[in-house]
Amino acid sequence: MRGDQAERHQTRGEAERLLSGDSMEMGDTSPQQTREHKHPSQVEERYTDEQSNGQASSSRLTAAGEEEVAPINGRHTVYRVYKIRWFGLSQLILLNIVVSWDWLSFSAVANTAADFYSTNPSIINWLSTGFLFAFVAAAPATIWTLHTGGPRLAIIIASILILLGNWIRYAGTRTSPPSFGLTMFGQILIGLAQPFVLSAPTRYSDIWFTPSGRVSATAVASLANPFGGALGQLINPFLAAKASDIPNMTLYVAIISTVASIPSFFIPSKPPTPVSPSSTHTAPGIRETVNLLGRNPTFYLILLPFAVYVGFFNSISSLLTQIMTPYGFSETESGIAGAVLILIGLVSAAVTSPIMDRTKAYLPFIKTSVPLIALCYLAFIWAPGTRSLVAPYIILAILGAASFSLVPVALEWLVEVTWPVGPETGSTICWTGGQLLGGIFIVISDVLKEGSEGNPPFTMGKALIFQAVVSAAVVPCAMCLGLVGKVTRGRLEVDKGVAAEDREG
């Protein structure tokens, strides 16, 4: 009994020391004030377990704005969040930005890069396709790393691969003649890094954030990835206006990636104490996890549309220049179109994610967004043919808004409906499906590309039709969510302090 008390006091003391350190950084609160919880900046959110006659009750807000939860065990337990979590989240954001920028470095200037390497744009497409297939190859290692070592180890592995890949790519541009093979090798190393940071946000938010902030945390870290792609599409055409600029463009991107990667080695692995009841949960082993997911029909209904839409986003991001330039648009105008797709999407996600954090209306949002995305792909068939920037920009803006808002909501709802499976497993499988299909879609689109006899020459109209048909085909999967199988929101119920309720769809 005394040992248990000592252990609780030791754990609480560790948390208080960290909070005291935070207060010293703020420069306005003493350690004693921290221990008494008198300063609102010290403890941003608190869960307090109190005696409740053995019955579980839902959470409530105190006058101080802190949340109290009465559990069934009757022990006094405090759950806190720590300001140091923002450091790790910021690092995830930076790495997702640079890894995506690296991915589209050459796609944004496909014609110029083809001249530099004395090849054609179809070969340059393999820099993007190989990157996506490398993600698939690294997916099993990613699941194991996040499951056993946590987000910190995954982030460090990604940083090392990003550093190596970028400088190897640069070396490939400096050989005489330029070595496409060496550049491809560096690109593949960066592709191997991507799953470690793209699949980490759900796991990181589960460990470091409370239920009221998880969707937003997942959104910020996950959507930083396409933001990096937007930077690449917007900036790289200016960095490489002609073939001789490719080495300097690669050098600038390598320097930025290096600066972004170095802080990874200093992030903490986990908070001193759990931030919520669900964060104390130990996920099943990998074999049991696979069995649980395999028997969950809701998982498949999320996986299919998620993978298809991520795949088409990867495809259209890689091929947008080749889609638009046959109709008289420049590489710069095509790059701006890609930036519109992504930046409008990020703004939309920034608005919708906090709303989803408060309302938890995941399912209605998913069922609204999926048909809208399919309609956008349908409308985009005719957009380049207008030879006006208005139609492509408007359609891509709507597509980006719907797609980017959907990603964090789908990922967080996936965690809820697959509970008690660890959040890293489902998200990694979904992202892997998206990268795999993205690579396949790029290859198919390149095959469907018209030759010099096309009207106009080298148009990708057939590829856009293929894109629209497949996008529409997966809409029924989303519409069946909640109607097929048993839907639970286990993690949310645990955090509320009540027993999980099964809902028959």
| 99, 278 Cβ separation under 8 angstroms | no
Measured between alpha carbons, how far apart are the two ends of the chain, in Å?
A: 46
Residue-wise pLDDT for 69-92, tens only, equals: 434 444 555 667 778 888 989 999
Where do the domains of the chain lie? 33-80, 85-504
The phi and psi torsions of 97 (rounded to 5 degrees) equal -65, -50
Element (H, E) at 486: strand 486-488
Give the pLDDT confidence score for residue 494 in this predicted structure: 47
Dihedral sign from CA coordinates of 95, 96, 99, 100: negative
Strands 486-488 and 78-80, bridge-based pairing? unpaired
Give the pLDDT confidence score for residue 43 in this predicted structure: 36
Structure tokens belonging to residue 181: 């093979």
Can you tell me the distance from the alpha carbon of 16 to that of 3, in angstroms, rounded to the nearest whole number? 20
User: What amino acid occupies position 407?
Assistant: V
Can you tell me the distance from the alpha carbon of 452 to that of 38, in angstroms, rounded to the nearest whole number? 73
| 206, 76 Cβ separation under 8 angstroms | no
Structure tokens belonging to residue 389: 């920037």
| 341, 397 Cβ separation under 8 angstroms | yes
Give the pLDDT confidence score for residue 74 in this predicted structure: 47
What residues of the chain score a pLDDT lower than 70?
1-79, 275-286, 422, 484-505
Can you tell me the distance from the alpha carbon of 165 to that of 447, in angstroms, rounded to the nearest whole number? 29
Element (H, E) at 504: strand 502-504
Structure tokens belonging to residue 334: 């095509």
Q: What is the CA radius of gyration of the chain?
A: 24
Residue-wise pLDDT for 354-412, tens only, equals: 888 788 788 889 999 999 999 999 999 999 999 999 999 999 999 999 998 998 888 88
| 80, 12 Cβ separation under 8 angstroms | no
Strands 60-61 and 67-68, bridge-based pairing? antiparallel
Structure tokens belonging to residue 286: 């990998």
Structure tokens belonging to residue 329: 């648009």
Structure tokens belonging to residue 44: 């941003």
| Contacting residues for 68 by C-beta, under 8 A, at least 6 apart | 46, 47, 48, 50, 59, 60, 61, 62
Can you tell me the distance from the alpha carbon of 220 to that of 357, in angstroms, rounded to the nearest whole number? 13
| 425, 135 Cβ separation under 8 angstroms | no
CATH code for the domain defined by 85-504: 1.20.1250.20
Give the pLDDT confidence score for residue 277 in this predicted structure: 66
Element (H, E) at 47: strand 46-48
Give the pLDDT confidence score for residue 501 in this predicted structure: 39
Give the pLDDT confidence score for residue 285 in this predicted structure: 67
Can you tell me the distance from the alpha carbon of 176 to that of 75, in angstroms, rounded to the nearest whole number? 70
| Contacting residues for 288 by C-beta, under 8 A, at least 6 apart | none
Give the pLDDT confidence score for residue 194 in this predicted structure: 93
Strand, helix or coil at 105?
coil
| 382, 415 Cβ separation under 8 angstroms | no
Give the pLDDT confidence score for residue 25 in this predicted structure: 35
Q: At what angle do helices 390-418 and 200-208 cross, to 10 degrees?
A: 50
Residue-wise pLDDT for 244-303, tens only, equals: 999 999 999 999 999 999 999 998 887 777 766 665 556 666 677 777 777 788 888 889
